[in-house]
Chains A and B, each alone.
Chain A
Amino acid sequence: MTQPVLELSGIRKSYGTHVAVETVDLSLDPEEFVTFLGPSGSGKTTTLMMVAGLQQPDGGTIRLGGAPIERLPPYRRDIGMVFQHYALFPHMSVRKNVAFPLEMRGMTRPVIQRQVADALELVGLSDYGHRLPRELSGGQQQRVALARAMVYRPALLLMDEPLGALDKKLREQMQREIKRVHRERRISVLYVTHDQEEALTMSDRIAVFNRGRIEQIGTPSELYERPATRFVADFLGDTNFFPGIVRASFDGYCHVDVMGCPVEAMAPASVATGAQVVVAVRPERVRLQSGPGLDGRLIEIIYLGASRRSVVRLADGGDYFVLQPAGAAEAEGPSPGAAVSLGWDRQHATVFPG
């Protein structure tokens, strides 16, 4: 079993009475790409700052390559960090920026020159060495920041919402760039973002943060298909939450009464009969059927280009969504105003306490 690159145990931090990070336990394997995902104020950035050494934890340990580092200042930790607004030194050229960490490590001139050229080539900016940061576009600046953080081959690369300041097209391009660098250099990455699509496309594993703790860690598909808590189900992708009462509970699944209709769903934890719950089902797993099921009325069909979203109003007056790819939707399907009913397969539904 290879040793993890990073281990966080019992990390916590408060500012006065405000608890920023309640408790965090996590381990990162070599070459893994782990993302901290969550809304602002959830503690993900604070945790990253503690790994970097720019903030001090109130308790817990941080081990980098097996050795505890929580007492070390940032300049003695073997990490590289990319900031949201790049933090390139404005008075130094691109080349000088990238050379900076090597100079701090006392390397000789020829070695530095070679490694800087290497790093610039890695991010595709070989001809930009003499330029100043203010002469570069946002995407270029971010690539220089990446080169600078990686040129000295740190054990761990930290990225604090690095693409937040870029527009959508550029962001997607940079996401691919970062993944490419991650694969080529085989470096371990700890990435922070609030954008769940970004997390899903880039990560080996995602840690979902909420109110200072990690609600679930897992691969993107684990988190998406098998959310452990209501928050995770809600934060990642779209989810329908059908309110209901448990009628019968079995091993791993249960029968629930939703607005008078019997449905089935998976139960990650055992639920008591009579308990109030919500049944979480992704819109793309809900079927529009004409047979028995949850009865409702089709209100409208929203055109999304590659897919169609059908808005269905149920007996409780709430609007629920069904997502179908364009082809399936255009085939014989109900029109707005029609009576429809909803159904799904048990393994695509999960109950959470309601």
Chain B
Amino acid sequence: MNPPPDRRALLLVPAVLVLLVAFVGPVGWLLARAFTQPQPGLQNFQAIWQRQGYLQVLWNTIEISAMVTPICLLLGFPIAHAMATGSPRLRRWLVFIVLLPFWTSLLVRTFATVILLQRTGPVNALLIGLGLTAEPLPLLYNMAGVMAGALQVLLPFVIFPLHAAMVRIDPAYMQAALTLGARPMRAFFRVYLPLTMPGLLTGATLVFISTLGYFVTPAMLGGPHQTMIAQLIQDQIAQFGNWGMAGALSLLLLLVSGVTLLLLHVTVGLKAAAR
């Protein structure tokens, strides 16, 4: 197409400039600090490896992400399925219900979760009223709180890729399985579920990587045993001014995310996932 491609490439320049100057540059600067502050070398990584507290936080982070992911998948699967195979009206409602929290700020939702789960809150009131428990349950400032808050935020990240994958599955596959003699449950596990695998893996990766970097959720809903790496990074900067350590921790966080993305690319292919 005329004009020659060169002229249109100019349109990219402002965006790429902003990206380089205001994002790649600063992030690179931060990561470089890991190797240069307070002295050049790998001391920061050594320190992380040696400090029990740091390792505990790293472990927390991975543990929380690893626990949230399967629960998200389990809860999100039926909803995605209802969206893909239900009536258009049902689908519109579900899309709205899933999108609404998605558009609402993380802070507002986390705050709402605090109100919901506090000792004098409606959930405890309901549980006591139903006679399921005599005393209000501690649902906040612990793992349960973090889970509850994170799930709220992460469900859309599972539901949308899953839905996209499900919509692409030709109903003829299940029909063929049934006419070939498979009972519905078996057909589901042997035919349908494997076909949703790309969507499942994409959703799982998105959830896992998002959770790794969480700051607000563990800060507001978690207790000291749920401290995550983002809070550690913030501490290092705000309290200790230790940019080297902050850089090192950031680098670690990126590495784990990168490896997870690589796993996704190897199993599903990033191009397929991007759809």
Q: How far is the CA of A54 from the CA of B3 in the complex (A)?
A: 10
* Chain A contacts with B in 25-62, Cβ cutoff 8 A: 53-54, 56
* Chain B contacts with A in 1-41, Cβ cutoff 8 A: 1-3
* Chain A contacts with B in 65-87, Cβ cutoff 8 A: 73-74
Number of B interface residues at 8 Å Cβ cutoff, please give it.
Answer: 3
Distance in angstroms from A104 CB to nearest chain B CB is 15
Number of A interface residues at 8 Å Cβ cutoff, please give it.
Answer: 5
Distance in angstroms from B65 CB to nearest chain A CB is 44
Residue pairs across A and B with CB atoms within 8 Å: the count is: 7
Interface SS of chain B: helix, strand, loop or mixed? loop
Distance in angstroms from B221 CB to nearest chain A CB is 48
User: Which residue of chain A has its CB nearest to the CB of B4?
Assistant: A56
Q: How far is the CA of A203 from the CA of B3 in the complex (A)?
A: 34
Distance in angstroms from B172 CB to nearest chain A CB is 27
A179-199 contact mask (Cβ, 8 Å, vs B): 1 or 0: 000000000000000000000
Q: How far is the CA of A110 from the CA of B3 in the complex (A)?
A: 33
Q: Which residues of B contact A56 (CB under 8 A)?
A: 2
* Chain A contacts with B in 211-243, Cβ cutoff 8 A: none
Q: How far is the CA of A239 from the CA of B163 in the complex (A)?
A: 53
Distance in angstroms from A294 CB to nearest chain B CB is 50
Q: Which residues of A contact B1 (CB under 8 A)?
A: 54
Q: Which residues of B contact A73 (CB under 8 A)?
A: 2-3
User: Which residue of chain A has its CB nearest to the CB of B1?
Assistant: A54
Q: How far is the CA of A56 from the CA of B4 in the complex (A)?
A: 10
B229-251 contact mask (Cβ, 8 Å, vs A): 1 or 0: 00000000000000000000000
Q: How far is the CA of A56 from the CA of B5 in the complex (A)?
A: 12
Q: How far is the CA of A73 from the CA of B4 in the complex (A)?
A: 10
Distance in angstroms from A48 CB to nearest chain B CB is 15
Distance in angstroms from A62 CB to nearest chain B CB is 14
User: Which residue of chain B has its CB nearest to the CB of A75?
Assistant: B2
User: Which residue of chain A has its CB nearest to the CB of B2?
Assistant: A73
Q: How far is the CA of A54 from the CA of B2 in the complex (A)?
A: 7
B120-156 contact mask (Cβ, 8 Å, vs A): 1 or 0: 0000000000000000000000000000000000000
Q: How far is the CA of A56 from the CA of B2 in the complex (A)?
A: 9
Q: How far is the CA of A74 from the CA of B2 in the complex (A)?
A: 7
Q: Which residues of A contact B3 (CB under 8 A)?
A: 73
Q: Which residues of B contact A53 (CB under 8 A)?
A: 2
User: Which residue of chain B has its CB nearest to the CB of A55?
Assistant: B1
Q: How far is the CA of A74 from the CA of B3 in the complex (A)?
A: 10
Distance in angstroms from A228 CB to nearest chain B CB is 36
Q: Which residues of A contact B2 (CB under 8 A)?
A: 53-54, 56, 73-74
Q: How far is the CA of A73 from the CA of B3 in the complex (A)?
A: 7
Q: How far is the CA of A54 from the CA of B1 in the complex (A)?
A: 5
B75-118 contact mask (Cβ, 8 Å, vs A): 1 or 0: 00000000000000000000000000000000000000000000
Q: Which residues of B contact A54 (CB under 8 A)?
A: 1-2
Q: How far is the CA of A245 from the CA of B126 in the complex (A)?
A: 97
Distance in angstroms from B8 CB to nearest chain A CB is 13
Q: How far is the CA of A74 from the CA of B1 in the complex (A)?
A: 9
Distance in angstroms from A302 CB to nearest chain B CB is 36
Q: Show the binding face of B for A, using Cβ within 8 Å.
A: 1-3
Q: Show the binding face of A for B, using Cβ within 8 Å.
A: 53-54, 56, 73-74
6 pairs across A/B with beta carbons < 8 Å? A53-B2, A54-B1, A54-B2, A73-B2, A73-B3, A74-B2
| Top 7 closest pairs, chain A to chain B, by CB | A73-B2, A54-B1, A53-B2, A74-B2, A73-B3, A56-B2, A54-B2
